[in-house]
Structure 1
Amino acid sequence: MAYDPPPELGAMSLLEIAEAARARRLPPVEEWSPARTVDSRMRIAADGTWFHDGSPIRRPAMVRAFASLLMREGDGAYYLVTPQVRQSIAVEDAAFLAVDCRADGDALAFRLNTDELVLAGPENPLRAEGDPDLPAIYLSVRRGCEARLDRSTWLQLADMALGEDGALTVSSQGATFDLVPA
């Protein structure tokens, strides 16, 4: 089965972005409660690279498939969940990277390193961590997982945020987010 990535964010309207995000069919991981837990021998590096047994996973389709099974528990542990087993996976920073951003009307749309599209808002908030001079911005994606904005996406967002009053805030779908860590 061929994979057709979504078009570039700049070529899509807000409605098209919202429809693409809604149309993504994900496995019902939340409904599965496997009794067995094993180590997947996988990790996600801070730069978004997925590894298995120390070797990078070079097939984007495999990364997308694994990402669709990913969830984060309340204690911060990450798992790949199937109906039969949940497999622990090490995550160095965030499970995903936000690699592009676009403002359209009252919404901010992000493309992840897995080609997923996410609209920031009350269900997918942005949060700032770290040092005010060099913040790390995270976007809630799903199932407790987040995407860290890469440098170019952070700069795109900062350009959008710079207001006349000097505040670094952005709004999306009725929610306002401060881009400076508290």
Structure 2
Amino acid sequence: MSELDPYSLLAGLADLKDKSLPPLHLWHPDQIKDIDMEIREDGSWYHEGDRIARQRLAHLFSTVLRRESDGEYYLVTPVEKCRIRVQDAPFIAVTMDIQGSGKDTNMTFTTNMADTVIAGPDHPLRFEVDEQGSPIPYVMVRNGLEARANRSVYYQLMQLLVPAESPEGELWGIWSGGEFFSFRLPVES
């Protein structure tokens, strides 16, 4: 990995004064570097093995983060993009607000980086199964970036599960934003 001061990444963002996200979809820099930066499973950011203690700095980096079609994560500016490591998902869903019920439910997730999304067609909810057979919920936030549900959000979600029939058998899932997000419960042996 090349040595790079992560603060130099922010040079191209000096003119962004408002709270809106930078136009990453317009930035396609030719210069690509690897930097020793990692987002750990708990959502904490590290540079060269040291935790980034300033939450505002981690938040600023998160605004220029995207996942590309190669599955890699990059911090992107107009002049360069820097590949970083992400252990699981780059964000953690730390709160969930539920409005409505049944098929009219809307679940609003807030991440550890203050992003807020309503699960639905534009922000799908998906489930993976961990080594113990437990479902792990993820919600799409932006730019190919997902948030993994923290423990309290996980338990809120599990209380909302409803069964649904399918040609393959019974599924379980959750309604939000007019969509049914399903997963199969593990078969006990």
Q: TM-score, normalised by structure 1?
A: 0.80
Summarize the Cα distance change of 1:181–1:84 in structure 2 as closer, same or farther, 3 Å threshold. farther
Tell me the number of residue pairs that the alignment of Structure 1 and Structure 2 aligns: 160
1:23-102 equivalences in 2 (<5 Å): 25-102=20-97
Letter of the 2:92 counterpart: L
User: Identity, % of aligned pairs?
Assistant: 38
Shift of 1:25: 1.2
**Bigger shift: residues 131-140 or 146-155:** 131-140
Q: Could you tell me which residue of structure 2 aligns to residue 143 of structure 1?
A: 143
Which secondary structure does the structure 2 equivalent of 1:79 belong to? strand
Residue type of the alignment partner of 1:141: V
User: Which of 173, 176, 179 is equivalent to 2:177?
Assistant: 173
Provide the rounded CA distance (Å) in 1 between the counterparts of 2:106 and 2:19: 19
CA–CA distance in 2 between the matches of 1:118 and 1:64?
16
State the match for 1:154 in structure 2: 154
RMSD of the alignment, in Å?
Answer: 2.3
Alpha carbons of structure 1 residues 80 and 47: separation in structure 2 relative to 1, 3 Å: same
In structure 1, how many angstroms separate the alpha carbons of the residues matched to 2:56 and 2:139?
A: 22
Gaps of 5+ in 2: 1-17
Indicate the structure whose relative CO is greater, using CA pairs within 8 Å and at least 6 residues apart.
1
Structure 1 position 179, deviation (Å): 4.5
Aligned equivalents of 1:84, 1:33: Cα separation in 2: 8
User: Structure 2 length as normaliser, TM-score?
Assistant: 0.77
1:180 Cα deviation (Å)? 3.9
Q: Name the CA distance, whole Å, in 1 between partners of 2:89 and 2:185.
A: 17
3-state SS of paired residue (2:160) = helix
Looking at structure 2, the residues matched to 133 and 159 of structure 1 have their Cα atoms a distance apart, in angstroms, of 17
CA apart distance, 1:144: 0.8
1:103 aligns with 2:98: yes
DSSP-derived class of the 1:137 partner: strand
Q: Deviations over 1:58-110 (max 9, x none)?
A: 11111111111010011210000000110001000001111111111231001
Cα separation, 2, equivalents of 1:133 and 1:180: 11
